[in-house]
A and B are shown apart, each in its own frame.
Chain A
């Protein structure tokens, strides 16, 4: 690739257009991952649409702050997680939230190594959402991040601010909890 310019001309195009064009290709590459995370994390398609828009706009505004220490997707995920957590915190401040004790999941019947069988995929999204909604927020986020094959355990650990070992331990419980809820909703 050619050297960057400090003025406004890249490949004969104004900088703004060039940035928009390159940003558009980044959007095409990562929008599904970000939309899916916000959709299943927030559990509301309209909120997910707004959040995805806000996340990419924030990324566009702060592109010059991207230091390249992590992958671009990890950087986007960080913005998305902060955004979703702010939304959830604002919601929880207005509503009484009853968390479920961890021991409930410890005693759950589902096995983590059993496959999940699905007879009908037509309303699978709703069933998945119901199961995710029943999980503690931390477990929900972990499962969604680990499901992205592009992220390593270390990257997931960094995104949730924990060690990779802690992530592995929690992930085990998250899988078990999800399987219990998913089977119960079947």
Chain B
């Protein structure tokens, strides 16, 4: 039982450490500018307001003609 408790405590500490590291990844090293920019892009969220504005704007625009553009887009 004691061993079980110790294991649980260790697991908890490891989980806390992992959570802390993922929240504050200090001391990171990047192979080069592209690697750094990829990390930065992954951390960047797109403002939700863009989708809302786009929805409103596209509603006033006539739909594109029914040429099969989608076939080329979705069957790639």
* A interface list, Cβ under 8 A from B: 1, 4-8, 15-16, 19-20, 22-23, 26-27, 31-33, 35-36, 39-40, 45, 49, 52-53, 56-57, 60-64, 66-68, 71-72, 112-113, 115-122, 124-125, 128, 143-144, 146-149, 174-175, 178-179, 182
Cβ B37 vs Cβ A49 within 8 A: no
Cβ A128 vs Cβ B37 within 8 A: yes
A residues less than 8 Å from B33 (CB atoms): 116, 143, 147, 174-175, 178-179, 182
Least Cβ–Cβ distance between B24 and chain A, in angstroms:
7
- Main SS of chain A's interface residues? helix
10 smallest A-B Cβ distances: which pairs?
A68-B72, A147-B37, A63-B64, A4-B68, A16-B63, A64-B64, A36-B41, A147-B34, A178-B33, A116-B30
Cβ B38 vs Cβ A149 within 8 A: yes
A residues less than 8 Å from B24 (CB atoms): 121-122
A169–B63 Cα distance when bound, in Å, is 43
Least Cβ–Cβ distance between B33 and chain A, in angstroms:
4
Cβ A61 vs Cβ B64 within 8 A: yes
A22–B35 Cα distance when bound, in Å, is 31
With most chain A CB atoms within 10 A of its CB, the pick from B31, B33, B37, B46 is B33
A124–B41 Cα distance when bound, in Å, is 11
Cβ A57 vs Cβ B71 within 8 A: no
Cβ B63 vs Cβ A32 within 8 A: no
With contacts A116-B30, A116-B33 taken as known, whether A35 is within 8 angstroms of B40 at the C-beta atoms is: no
